Amino acid sequence: MTKAEIEDQSPEEPLDPAMENIRRKMIKLQLVSGGILLVCFMAVLAAIVYKITRPAPQATSAQPVAGSLAVPADQPVTAVANLPAGFVVQSVSHSGNQILFYGQLDGVSKALIFDVSVGRVIADITVGNR
């Protein structure tokens, strides 16, 4: 054996106490970091398995619109807005499932709100000055 091989096989000298403490802290840090990575990896795997094993949603022929109204795919929604007799419509506006009819009834300004999902007038508002 050569001298270099003999030196490689000789026991290592013990580290001074400060370096030994740093080495122990580094080992603890590596173990904690490895544990956190393992937990995160397991969470990702659990999410993937959950997504794969979840049943597919049921396909329906009606497409949901804003609110609770479902519009059939093969035909339009039909509804009749029964406005009071003598009501003169001046303007119409809509938002989601609701239609606002603004006009006059016997010379009084009114706003009527018709909800398509329930099929009736849901608000009768008199518009006036104080």
Place of tokens 């969470």: 43
- Tell me the average confidence (pLDDT) per consecutive run of 10 residues in the chain, 130 residues long: 64 82 95 97 96 79 54 75 88 89 91 87 84
In order of 59, 97, 116, 119, the CA distances from 69 in angstroms are 17, 7, 8, 11
Give pLDDT, residue 71: 66
The domain limits of the chain are 15-53, 64-127
User: pTM of whole model > 0.85?
Assistant: no
